[in-house]
Structure 1
Amino acid sequence: MIELLLWQWSTAVQISSTLLIALFFIVYARSAERPELRWWVNAWTANALAMTVTWAFWMIQPGDVAKPFLLALYFTAKTGFLVLILLGVIGLDRVERAARLLLPLGAGVLVFGLAGGALITQLETIGVFQASLIAVILGVACWQCLRRPQQGLGWLALGCGMRAALGAAEAIGYGWRRFGAEGSVPDQVGVFLAAHSSFDTGAEWVIALGCVLAITHRVHAEMLDSHAELGRAHEALRVVAERDPLTGLYNRRMLKPLLEAHRDRDLEVLFLDLDEFKRINDTQGHDIGDACLKRFADALRKHLSGALATIRFAGDEFVVIGPPGMSADVLPALREELARSAPGLPALGVSIGRTVLPRGGAADKALREADAAMYREKASRPDRRQG
């Protein structure tokens, strides 16, 4: 009598709990709209169907005609629940793989359900088969979770492991009662089998919690990836907006913002122009001309390393801004390096104009002065034709 009451109580607990979990996942799937959740919605719906069949056996005591059909429905629904849980675990990482496994595993569930309904009718035998399946399939699900500990599957692994362990214990208990010698089964085994549904309920809630936490972890990871991608896109757009694609230096539109950013200090402004650059382009081609511009930009970075900013102003014209005196000792070395030809590239000459932009001074005026000084230097060297 005690065992019957325990069985009725624990079964009622599991039925109500399963219905609550199924309802929760239906609502959760509608609000979250995650493709991975379809496995879990279907899994708990199948489990609710299996528990409804259990309730039907309890309430209506079906006859010999209806019993095989209800058993087949129970086996199919309960085994489908287990397979869908496994597919749900796989689908948390590999949705396509889970989808590929659905058809063969679904066919296996249907065959097992029909065969079980026809061949397995004794209560303890049903318990042995079904509990063994729970232990095996949820054990595999637990292993799948443990293979990917970095993906937030810890609680899901715990829930599947707990339910698999309970399934193994239940299979042993049912097997003991089915195949053990009469009088050899302790009373505690009967009490455990009568009450195990309540233990199963706790493990199933851990599985449900684990699924929610795994989905949350996945959403969080996707948000971080999306944020990082937006950051990379923003950085790429910033580079496109600020940088010259050929030389990697700042482009002309950045000149005034850079001057404005340093307007609270005195600045030296250099205006530089390659000599005879048009002739290089016309006679040796634009590829050689582009290579010369990149060589010049590299030389500016090397020799004017103390500069605050280096800008490709237009064509072969460059502007460098930095602290006063930055160019005092380096321009001869810059000219000397450029005057030596590089592999596949001609020697380069450069005309340079310098001026000082005082703190708070007019940037446009300083640029005009540096530009004029550059042209005066170019004009003072008649051997150099303008580039």
Structure 2
Amino acid sequence: MSARDRETAMALARVAAALDGAVLGLGTATIAVASWVKYLAVSGQLRRIVAAPAVAISDIRSFLVEYGEGDEPVLAAVRGHVRAAPQGKLLVPPGSGEHCVIAKHTQMCLFSEWRGIFGWTFDLHALFFKSLKEQITTSFRWVYYLYFVNPQNMTGIVHVNLDRAMQPLPLTSVYHKLIPVESTPYTLFQTIVGNGYPVALLDEEKILPIGKEITAIGFCRPHRASVGISSCPEIPFFLSELTKDEMEVELSSRAQTLFWATVVLGTMSVCLLGFATYRYRTVTFLSWKKIKERREARQAQEVFRQTTDDVTDDQSSDEEAGEMGDGQLCVICLRKKRRAAFIPCGHLVCCCKCALIVERQFDPLCPMCRQDIRYMIRIYNN
């Protein structure tokens, strides 16, 4: 981990531990809510895919006649092989030279960075800010007239409409070239600081070849002499190598993972927020208790000082040392009678003057038991 990432991790740890874990609890609760929202979305997608029937290409027209209402689209899944339009043009990427109906060309700048345990990379800044470590240039081309056919029955044809399709496509990598980047003096500086530096340029081509068997799930509607299928924005699949049953299994597993993640994160957030609330109430109670004790101690000290104003100059009220036993003399001056009791221990060991001296110390402690002194009271006895 670079020095920059270490500082960021330490700052995040301090923020998470702030307010006795309340910040971490709120963050965990936010993630739990987001996970629950994703779970609801995935569950809805799963229900839509389960409800969509799997129709053979040869039966698609009769299916639309039976279940379709005019020009209203019907969500269905069909599986077949990719074909281009009869006597239509095909794409030929320059890197591979193979014929295809979809071609995607990607150029990516690869960076060298520190890898930790299990080979994982650590870049905390990329979690919150847009990462500059993957500078990608992509060109995407496709044949407008793309068809699905059934190899056993060539009579059925489904036209695939790729317009506004945001789902990932089942492309195959056919060209992969790594071009090294020459090192510069700035590379040494980046290595010392701990940041990643460019090492190579990845040039890659992916295509959808002719004859590949895939599944298309989306809205089906009549299209000229055939049937057209377009993507449904409410489900994460459009063209996929998976069958309809495999899509259901994948979404079911994803929904189950999100559900248990929501339960675990929600429980953690409740525990953290409960602990933070308990700590806040405890600290507040102790603070008010200390304020109350200080107020009582201040009032007792004022009363004590008012009753001992004549002690410093007038000693007529105290008996002579010879008239008292050793158990009644102040343990500090050994001249006057014990008249000041320390609270909370309750020991009566000092005269009023020495008690005032003990009180003015930086850390006032009882001379007998060495406990903290909150305040003093004067004892009147015969």
Report the TM-score when normalising by structure 2.
Answer: 0.31
Higher relative contact order (Cα pairs below 8 Å, separated by 6+ residues): 2
More strand per residue: 1 or 2? 2
Rg larger in 1 or in 2?
A: 2
